[in-house]
Chains A and B, each alone.
Chain A
Amino acid sequence: MFDYTFHWHQALRAWPRLLEGALVTLEVAVLSMIIGITIAIVLAVARTSNVAIFRAAAISWIELARNTPALFQIYMVHFGLGAFGLHLSPYLSLLVGIAFNNAGYLAETFRGALRAIPPTQTRAARSLGMGPVQAFVLIILPQMFRIAFLPASNQMVWAILMTSLGIIVGMNTDLAGVTQDLNVRTFRTFEFFALAAVFYYAIAKSVGIGARLIAWRLFRY
């Protein structure tokens, strides 16, 4: 059946390069989460605001992010912005695209978390003389983060897996990009991508387990 000899050692020898790629993958994922979380908080608040235009803007972003493919969103950034004279590098297109996606999904997660916090918490904080922003930052946000932590960590794993889409827009420094680079040069597609798959699995599981550990340690109240 197999008219093919597997050359595993060729792939295994390349593991330092793959490791470097994995670090870039993590970098993109972490940055996209930081940006995504920040925007998501704004979106979650705007989504429930009484000002119609804020609400409409938030809903538009959230529904666009959740009802179109992530790859489409990356394409929009990479090719669509070209119409406005904005040509972003593959790295930036990937980062902005994933951040846009993260923001949309996390906004819904945060909105649900905010709904779970009793309004009496804000009432108690305001009664002590705190302004609305103070009350939100000191009392509401910490509780929101605790409720939303595990769903957000799932989104982080998603972000890591999504970075692989970068090769479609020419990204060559992250894990998938490095693998594709090696693939193009050696044609050992299966061996190299199998090794990359092992790396992705290891990263995804580590982040998942790490998140559970952090949650257990951090939220012990």
Chain B
Amino acid sequence: MFDTALTFSDLMFMLRGAALTLAITAVSVAAGTILGITFGVIRHQVGPWFAAPLTFVLDVLRSVPLLIQLILANAFQSIAGLGWSPFVVSCVVLSLYTSAYCSEIVRGGIQAVPMVTRRAARSLGMTWGQDMSHIVFPMALRVALPSWIGLTLGVMKDSALVLWIGLIELLRASQILITRLQEPLFILIIAGAIYFLISFPIARLGDRLEKQWRENDPS
């Protein structure tokens, strides 16, 4: 059909980059979500005044470009002699970044649960822990899940930035091939297609869940 110097092993090279993208995303989202839930619950329980330092730090994480954060973290671990690999640096930075956004989502989810419902649970003798796990968690999840899916996809896309500190994720792999094969458009289209095929179905699923839950919600 048309000429290309791209071989099957080149394609595999790109897919390995994609796998690294997914690996970084998975680790960061997992760690970031756990941290985010912790931070979100703390911020909600402790109230705005006492949570202010934490809120401030998380706000900084959301107001400084991710690329700058990666550069700073990489420089810091070098200065401090920590000897972290670029993969570890990336996961640490992306996890904290994710947790900052996730704590907002979690806080919003908790606040969406009507206070009266929670009081009813406590009046029935449930402990704070039981209230949280049986009442708040399921209801907050409905509100938070679509946003969380959006956050996960965002982290997946933002992970492309780790190429700057030397990791060969999908976009860097594409760049290497472009330099060698001089077929920028074709290779980038393949890379774009891979990103799209990962992101689009999940995004659609999130939209459908959100619509479904909104329609079923009588309030």
Is A72 within 8 A of B192, CB to CB? yes
Contact A67:B200 (CB < 8 A) given known A1-B81, A176-B65, A193-B71:
yes
Is A190 within 8 A of B79, CB to CB? yes
- Nearest-neighbor residue (CB-CB) of B161 within chain A: A71
Binary contact readout B187-200 vs A (1 if CB under 8 angstroms, 0 otherwise): 01101100110011
Tell me the residues in window 46-79 of chain B with beta carbons closer than 8 Å to chain A beta carbons.
Answer: 60, 63-69, 71-72, 74-76, 79
Q: How many A-B residue pairs have CB under 8 A?
A: 111
Q: Decide yes or no whether A75 CB sits under 8 A from chain B.
A: yes
Binds B, one of A16-24, A50-58, A117-125, A157-165: A157-165
Is A80 within 8 A of B185, CB to CB? yes
Contact A66:B65 (CB < 8 A) given known A71-B161, A83-B184:
no
Q: Give the distance in Å from the alpha carbon of A165 to the alpha carbon of B160 in the complex.
A: 11
Is A64 within 8 A of B196, CB to CB? yes
Q: Decide yes or no whether B41 CB sits under 8 A from chain A.
A: no
Q: Give the distance in Å from the alpha carbon of A95 to the alpha carbon of B69 in the complex.
A: 22
Q: Give the distance in Å from the alpha carbon of A156 to the alpha carbon of B164 in the complex.
A: 24
Q: Give the distance in Å from the alpha carbon of A69 to the alpha carbon of B203 in the complex.
A: 14
Q: Decide yes or no whether A63 CB sits under 8 A from chain B.
A: yes
Residues of A within 8 A of B185 (CB): 80, 82-84
Q: How many residues of B contact A (CB 8 A)?
A: 41
Interface centre among B76, B160, B174 (most CB of A within 10 A): B160
Tell me the residues in window 169-188 of chain B with beta carbons closer than 8 Å to chain A beta carbons.
Answer: 171, 174-175, 178, 183-186, 188
Q: Decide yes or no whether A147 CB sits under 8 A from chain B.
A: no
Residues of A within 8 A of B188 (CB): 72, 75-76, 79-80
Tell me the residues in window 81-106 of chain A with beta carbons closer than 8 Å to chain B beta carbons.
Answer: 82-84
Q: Give the distance in Å from the alpha carbon of A194 to the alpha carbon of B60 in the complex.
A: 12
Tell me the residues in window 150-195 of chain A with beta carbons closer than 8 Å to chain B beta carbons.
Answer: 157, 161-165, 167-168, 176, 189-190, 193-194
Q: Give the distance in Å from the alpha carbon of A84 to the alpha carbon of B161 in the complex.
A: 26
Binds B, one of A35-43, A133-141, A200-208, A212-220: A200-208
Partner of B80 from the list A2, A162, A200 (CB cut-off 8 Å) is: A2
Q: Decide yes or no whether B142 CB sits under 8 A from chain A.
A: no
How far apart are B69's CB and chain A's nearest CB, in angstroms?
A: 8
Partner of A75 from the list B64, B69, B171 (CB cut-off 8 Å) is: B171
Q: Can you list 10 A-B contacts (CB < 8 A)?
A: A2-B80, A63-B196, A69-B157, A71-B160, A80-B184, A80-B185, A83-B185, A176-B65, A197-B69, A200-B64
- B residues contacting A by CB (< 8 A) are 60, 63-69, 71-72, 74-76, 79-81, 153, 157-161, 163-164, 171, 174-175, 178, 183-186, 188-189, 191-192, 195-196, 199-200, 203
